[in-house]
Amino acid sequence: MSLTLFRATWLTLAIGCVVAAEPIVKFEGSKVTYHGTTQGPVEHFQNIKFAHDTSGERRFSPPELYTPVEGSEIDATAPGSACPQSKAGIPPFFDETPDISEDCLNLRIARPAGTTAEDNLPVVIWLHGGGVVKGTAYDPHFDPDNLITLSTSLQKPIIYVALNYRLTIFGFARLPILNSQKSLNVGMRDQRAGFQWVKDNIKAFGGDPKRVTVFGLSSGGTFISLHPMAYGGERGVPFTQAWAMSGPPGTALNITSDATEIHTLAVAKKLECGGRDGEILKCLREVPMEKLTETAMEYSVNNHPPAGLFTFIPSVDGDFIPDRQSVLSKTGKFVKGIPMVFGWAQDDGATNAGLAPTFQKEDDMKAPIKGFAHALTDADYEELFSHYPASDFEEEVESYESRRGESDPVAPVHYFRVSRILRDILFTCSSVQFGYEMSRQSKALDVNYPGVRLYDLNQSMLTPMLKAAGMPYIGVCHGSDTNYIFNGLFPEGRVTEADQRLSESIAGSFINFAATGTPIFIQNGDLIPWPESFPSVDERSMSGPSELNIQLIGGPLGTGFCSLARKYDDATNFASREGSMQIPLMDGIEVGEMESLGFRSRQRELEREKLLERCTYISTLSEKLGV
């Protein structure tokens, strides 16, 4: 039976089968029982509390683990509260969040109907993004049913978990007294507590604690990327694999700056919380949740309009985050041996750039970059721009002009330049650099390390919405991955046949990664493994790789891998164009693929981006970028 026919047959049977019995999970030792619900072929357990209420004296403090009373009967049939945030939605990425509370450290579990404690299924944990201001485990944009149904049809069933963590000032306030109490970055400490709960308890739900994959997008991906560096890697991590979409560790810019403390004090001033450090903290803890949320969000929006993203952010505390991520990765202060996938969208920086018509001259490119990288000098900008000359983006302008409608705005070449610069600074280069260090240092300890994979998403379900909103120039924007990895989940629109096919391929790759440690691309019923991105290490290139493979996914060029490489005439200069060297491939990649028209087209486009050259330069800015 073909894979497609098997899937269709299984889905027909699964949809027609309603499991009447209430799913129940009982912990053997504590006799605690969780009562869930069944929805078609998927069982759900919601509002599973993993840490205590964070209000009052617990506000701004690390999470305190919660253990139910022995023999408790717990109703897990309805969603739990979200952590404090603005209630308004941010379409097409987040719905409204009507129920918020400081008693929000809870998680949800979904699994195939009929799963038992003996099944030992791979586990995936979703960590939502949202710029550290928005998100909940229960948002419909992250509904797990399509993903779980696909996993079962592929005969690789998974268990899905999603958890809440504190956001904005509640999760990332900074004051000297909080630092001395080891109470900074409590939002990330919440995440780690949730991960640990899963590792300790998922066996009862039928999961395998030795196969736990965390995945997330944007700030969710960035948090995931930073967790291996927590405590300098000395305490391990409560997961085994990671998949970060548009969220490498370097997206956490300005992690060494005093910006978060300045923001905390500014909010305190607005709330008339003054005096010494301890008095300010006491006052902030006494402010009603609704008032603190409103004030912090109003301040954040004014600081970084329109949504206030990345105002209260992780910061170096000498404890949970002991140093800048670039320092920790270079010095090996992170957990090695974690199979990882890093991805970015082709136009990942476009929404951060701003409106295209405003970029009439080169100097206009500075403003959006300064919003993320305030320490760069005029000399830095001059050199940065020289790596992204206007002549390199003539094809982007021509491509846009060829499809631009009469009412569509003009997009000058400088818009495409700054969009690419922001993509590389925020998402691409850090993915390459930390991926390389994870691969290089893990292989030094274990030659059988499965490796790191990189991908570039070149298709988006959001394109029609962007065009309708008057922004057809944006392309494959930040956040496009979610619709695909959740297997065709698009609450705002219709999923086309092409998008559904790509969804099954991307979600299928992820499911295979969760089960085996290797993403396997599904195309026309065939299973094609992704190539390892760093098959060999060039010891001369301590600032980054000299060669890499990237999986390009979707879009007009199709799906397949590309290879980049460079040669040296000395330790620092490029002597030949990228793509000129033979790249070793992993087992399963056919040489014929390298000779195909699709491969040559993808190769040409990727070579135009000059990733190795540009990322080598961007890495020299790490200290000024605060990464």
Dist. CA 600–CA 614, nearest whole Å = 22
551 sits in which H/E element: strand 547-553
d(CA 419, CA 424): 9
Q: Do the Cβ atoms of 246 and 478 come closer than 8 Å? A: yes
β-bridge partners, 484: none
Using DSSP's 3-state secondary structure scheme, residue 114 falls into: coil
- 123 strand-pairing partners: 159, 212
**220, exposed or middle or buried, with CB in 10 Å at 0-12, 13-18, 19+?**
buried
**Using H for helix, E for strand and C for coil, what is the string for 16-31?**
HCCCCCCCEEECCCCC
Q: Which one from 218, 219, 419, 533 is the annotated catalytic residue?
A: 218
Cis peptide before 305 (omega within 30 of 0): no
d(CA 436, CA 443): 11
8 Å CB contact between 348 and 478: yes
Sign of the four-CA dihedral 297, 302, 308, 311: negative
The β-bridge relationship of strands 33-35 and 37-39 is unpaired
Rounded to an integer, what distance in angstroms lies between the CA atom of residue 121 and that of residue 338? 19
How many angstroms separate the Cα of 91 from the Cα of each of 79, 175, 336, 344, 482?
21, 33, 37, 20, 13
Separation between Cα atoms, residue 350 and residue 371, nearest integer Å: 14
CA dist 247 and 436 (Å) reads 15
Whether 218 is catalytic is yes
Q: Hey, CA dihedral for 221, 222, 225, 226, is it positive or negative?
A: negative
Instruction: Identify whether 556 is preceded by a cis peptide bond (ω within 30 of 0).
Output: no
Cα–Cα distance list, 412 to 282, 302, 400, 407 (Å): 52, 28, 10, 16
Long-range pairs, 394-401, Cβ under 8 A, ≥24: 395/608, 400/472, 400/473
Strand order, beta sheet including 73-75: 24-26, 33-35, 73-75
Angle at the Cα of 427 (from 424 to 433), degrees rounded to 5?
80
The answer to whether 218 touches 313, Cβ cutoff 8 Å, is no
3-state secondary structure 517-537: CCCEEEECCEEEECCCCCCCC
Non-local CB neighbours of 29 within 8 Å, separated by 6+ positions: none
Active site residues: 218
